[in-house]
Every structure is written in C-alpha cells, then in structure tokens.
Structure 1
Amino acid sequence: MKTPLAAMANVNLKLLHTFMLVGEHGSFREAAERAHRSQSAVSTQIRQLEEQLGVALFHRTTRRVSLTVEGAQLLECARRAVQEMELGLRKIQESADIQRGRIALACSPTIAGTRLARVLAAFERDYPGVQVFVRELSSEAMFECVRQREVDFAFGPVVETGEFHFETILEDPLYALVPKRFAGSATKAIALPTLARMPLLLLDKASALRRLFEGALRSHDLDFSSRYQFTQVQSLISMARAGLGAAILPRVALPEGEDDAALPLRIVNPPLVRELAVITLRGQALSPAAARMVQLLRQLMGDRG
C-alpha cells in the first residue's frame, strides 16, 4: 500500500484542478464544461486521482455526485493550497512589478518645487528600474488628468467633490510674504482683515490656493485689491521682495532664511490651511510601484527638510 507522501508524489495540479471543479459544482457535466473537456475525460482523471490516493473521493449515483469524507478533506486542503499558491504568485508578481514598470503622477507646482525631489530621489535609490513621469499642473488640470486616467495618482489640494478619493498627507498653513514697509509692527502673524487692505499678489484663478483664499475673504465680506497675478510661486516671491504687494503663499513655498525685504506672516483671524492629499478616482487600485511611491509620500512629505 502506498504511503500518503508516496501517493501525493504522483498527483499533479491538473488532476487537483479537475477534482476541485467536480467537488465544488457536484457535477461531472458542469466540471467538463468549465474545463472545456469531455465528460469522459473528466471521469478518467477523477478515477486516476482516486487510484493514486487509494481512496474514493465521490459517491456516484445516476442522479447526483457527492463528496466522500476523504473527498471533503481533500477539497478543503486543495482550496487552501490554491489560495497559498495564488498568494505566493501574487507576491512574486508584485515584487517583479515594483522592480520594473512605469509610474505617472501629477503634482501641484508648490509641491513639485519644494518637497517632491526628496521623494523621487528616495524612490529611485530603491527602484532604479521603474520609470517615473511627473506632470506639474494647476489643480484644475491635475483633476482632469486623474479623471482621464492619464496619471496613476496626483498629489495636490483637497477640494469638495465626491468624484475623487483624497488621502490627506500634509496640512499646509497659508502665509503672507509682506514687504517690510507694509508690515508695521507685525512679526509673526497678520489678521485676514488687515491683509485685505494691502495690495495682494495672487496665483492665477486656476489654482486651488487662490480659490481657498478668495473664499475666505468672501465669507468675511472682505474686498481686496490685486493688480498682478502669476502662475509661479517664485514670481510672487520676487514681486513681494520688490515691494509690490503681499504675496499669498503656502508654508511649503516660503523662502528659507532671513529676508531683508519681506516678512513671512502666518494668516490668522481666521487661520487658513490647505490640505494636500494623494488623489485617485474612487475605487481605483494602485499598482505595487505606485503604492510604494505613495508610501514614501506619507513618510517624507510631512518633514520640513
């Protein structure tokens, strides 16, 4: 008599697959249809498996097919084995995918110019075989890219919409970079009503930051004057340093170090904060490589360095 291990040595995956089809559907005919084989071929494979194991796996009658006790045990073990194999194959595939592949992401200019480089550098060190493509876009264009699936995900501002999923990574307070001739006695903060009385330097209307700031002004019945608007934060900083007005900036975009011409003042009364998030379509699943990039965003984006 064969030992269990000796019997299993002759069992191949094809026989187990056929056995699972019969066992799960309780029918040789349906198993044959799903396997795209003849019913007699399926019956032959089951008999071959039973002979190899030395036990009957099914009770057969003219009307129905049912599992024996041994058959039920084998079906349970086979299901577990298939699940483990699928899990192992998935891990292997994910490991291969993350070593080679392609990621496309969209990012707001303020983040691309300040925080993104260290994330990309860390990713490239770990996964040099993955190609990464970055699109630096305004919020409106960014959302359209996500909507059209032109990118795997975006990193930008949270807005009120049910179309996208937002995973907030960073809270970014708004500041005013105020020429010293306008700042008066202020050293660290400036109230929104006081700020509204100054000439303001703003990003263009396509930016979510502009909409956030104007919404705050409207909610407090405040008017403002702005002769200039720009698409790049660096332009706002240059204009503020030249004394042309107070530039409205997120904290991540503030120039480092002391500035002889302008002071960075936190906007208060009320404080204004934008949320920055990983943006995907609702229900969208990321590739392993893109998921790893998002993990690095979580780890590194919140640090000031």
Structure 2
Amino acid sequence: MNVEMRYLHTFRVVCEAGSLRAAAGILHRTEQAVSYQLRKLEEALGMPVFHRGGGRLTPNAAGERLLTFCRDMGRDWEKLHEELRDTVVSESPLRISAVSGFGRYQLLPLFRNGPLADIPIRMRYPTADDVVRHVESGAADIGFVHRMDAHERLSHIPVGAEEIVLIGSTRAQPMPSLDFESLRRADYVTYDESDYVFATWFTQMVGMNITSLNAVAHFEELEEVLDWVAAGRGVSIVPASCIVDHEAQGDVLALRKPDVACSNTIYAVLDPARQHAAIARTLQAVREHAQL
C-alpha cells in the first residue's frame, strides 16, 4: 500500500473543515482537486473513510482512526522538527563574553570540567562595556558583567554574586590596616575594570570611595596583578575566586574584616530576540554554582 503524504494532509483538513468547499479554501485548491485526492486515498486504503450525505463529509469508524493517526503524526513531526532544530543550534558553539575575573575563575571551570563540559564554546574576556557591545551586535550569544547598565533592548539578569577582597603579599610587611587613612596611603596595583571593583569595595568596607590612589602599576589582566602583588609590589582589590591558587601557595593574603564580606552581583546580558539552545542550561548552572 502506497499512500502519499499529501493525501493524508488533505484528508485531515477536510475532516477538520467539515466540507469540500471549506477545505478547498484552506488548501488553495479547487473542490475537484480535493475530491480527487480523497478518492485516491480511499483507493489506496481499499475502503471508504467518510459518511457522505447532506453536503458534509463526516469520517466513519475507519476515518476516525485514520484522523487520530494523522493528528498523532502531525504532533510527532513537530516534535521531530524541534529536536532537529535544537540539534543544529546546539552544535554551533556558544559564544560568550565575560569580564575577566568572573569569566576566567568561575564561569570557565563550568565548561572545562563541570556540568557544561559537553557544550562547545568560544569565550572572550573584554571589559564590561565591550561585553554589552558584543551581545548587542550579535558577536556574543550571552555576556556576563559585574554591573547593571540600563539598555533599551538587552536584558540584564542577576545570576550570582562574587566576593571582592583586598589582597596583599605575605612577603610584605606591614600589611595595610582596614581603615580609611591606612588604605589611602597604600600602593595599589590596578587593572582594566578596577575602578568599579575598587569603588564597590571601598564603599562597602569603609563607607566611601577613595578616588585618589597611589597606583604603582596597571595591567590589562588579573594574572599580572596577582603576580605583582605576590612579589610585594603593592596591594589590589580583586574577586576572591581569582586568588585561590595564590593563597594555597602562600603568596597572597586576603585581608577581610571579621564577619564582614564585600559582595557584588553578576549579571547575564541577553538579547531576547536571539537565543542559543545552550543558554538556559548555562544560566541554571551559573545560578547553582554562584548560589544566588
């Protein structure tokens, strides 16, 4: 038995429309063409599938069973189409732009050996402003920044928090005290994006921002900052996740007030008009890791 798919589609439309005329309008065919396809379907099946009379076509018992099959097949096809589409999308790398501290030390491990290890990625670590520009232009599917800036089209979704700490070298003595005057006199190693991070820490820990700093070195990336601090060349303020290895080696010490921590919210930047299949999983994993 060879039943053409178009005959089944015509049969379903006729059943749901209730007449040849209505079905012909939906299918953009003549009534004669629709009647011909129904006749060919019944010939292929070897049995009638309609009760005919009164100008309406009502499926008989065989027709009702065939209609159920057609509807199930339609749902299966839609499901298959979604799965195929998601497969194609998921095979394309998830393009991520993230500020360096969060991106390198919290986000990347989730993809390297964590719950997102099966997702192909392209990761970049620009400044927060460039993260937003990458998502806005379509160069990135998702971004992560440590501040929320109003944007008419992009969404900023809080997904986690990071602790920010003042760090110094275990080789340098004395360490600065956590009071305004001592902090104002200290030598600082700064980096791209450090203005916002420093301001957040100063405001939360001493109640005001110290805008005039003695910056002894400036770097683009945090790796150089940590090396410089470890060598006793100054102090800095960085995300706590960055210093785990240096603390373990005994090179760097985080200076904290007892029972007081400085935290900063991390935001995912998304364009609602563009969605990669892996974004939902990524957001879930980040939220679980950051325990927001």
TM-score category of the 2 structures, normalised to the smaller one: 0.7 to 0.9
Partner of residue 106 from structure 1, selected from 92, 97, 102: 97
1:136-178 CA-partner distances (Å, limit 9, x unpaired): 211110011111111122234352546315261x432001112
Distance 1:183 1:69, change over 3 A: farther
Contact 1:175 1:267 (C-alpha < 8 Å) held by counterparts: no
RMSD between aligned residues:
4.0
1:171-230 CA-partner distances (Å, limit 9, x unpaired): 32001112443426x7xxx578864564443333xx3x6325425645733434323343
Distance 1:282 1:93, change over 3 A: closer
CA distance in 1, matches of 2:222, 2:232: 16
Distance 1:61 1:161, change over 3 A: farther
Distance 1:53 1:198, change over 3 A: farther
Partner of residue 272 from structure 2, selected from 282, 295, 299: 282
CA distance in 1, matches of 2:52, 2:197: 71
Which aligned segments of 4 or more residues in structure 1 are displaced greater than 6 angstroms? 191-194
Contact 2:135 2:142 (C-alpha < 8 Å) held by counterparts: yes
| SS class of match (1:225) | coil
CA distance in 1, matches of 2:286, 2:29: 51
Match of 2:210 in 1: 223
Q: What are the ranges of 5 or more consecutive residues in structure 1 without an aligned counterpart?
A: 1-8
CA distance in 2, matches of 1:45, 1:237: 76
Q: How does 1:66-105 map to 2 (within 5 A)?
A: 67-68=58-59, 70=61, 74-95=66-87, 97-98=89-90, 100-105=91-96
Match of 1:249 in 2: 238
Q: How does 1:96-135 map to 2 (within 5 A)?
A: 97-98=89-90, 100-115=91-106, 118-122=109-113, 126=118, 132-135=121-124
1:166 aligns with 2:157: yes
Contact 1:119 1:300 (C-alpha < 8 Å) held by counterparts: no
1:210 aligns with 2:199: no
CA distance in 1, matches of 2:127, 2:284: 23
Alignment identity in percent?
A: 19
- Structure 2 letter corresponding to 1:210: D
CA distance in 2, matches of 1:245, 1:19: 80
| SS class of match (1:151) | coil
- Structure 1 letter corresponding to 2:47: G
Q: TM-score, normalised by structure 2?
A: 0.72
1:29-52 CA-partner distances (Å, limit 9, x unpaired): 454455454332112112333453
Q: What are the ranges of 5 or more consecutive residues in structure 2 without an aligned counterpart?
A: none
Partner of residue 20 from structure 2, selected from 14, 28, 40: 28
Match of 1:294 in 2: 282
CA distance in 2, matches of 1:138, 1:13: 55
1:209-258 CA-partner distances (Å, limit 9, x unpaired): 63254256457334343233432212322343354532010012113424
State how many pairs are aligned: 278
Following TM superposition, by how much is the alpha carbon of 1:273 offset from its aligned partner in structure 2, in angstroms?
1.4
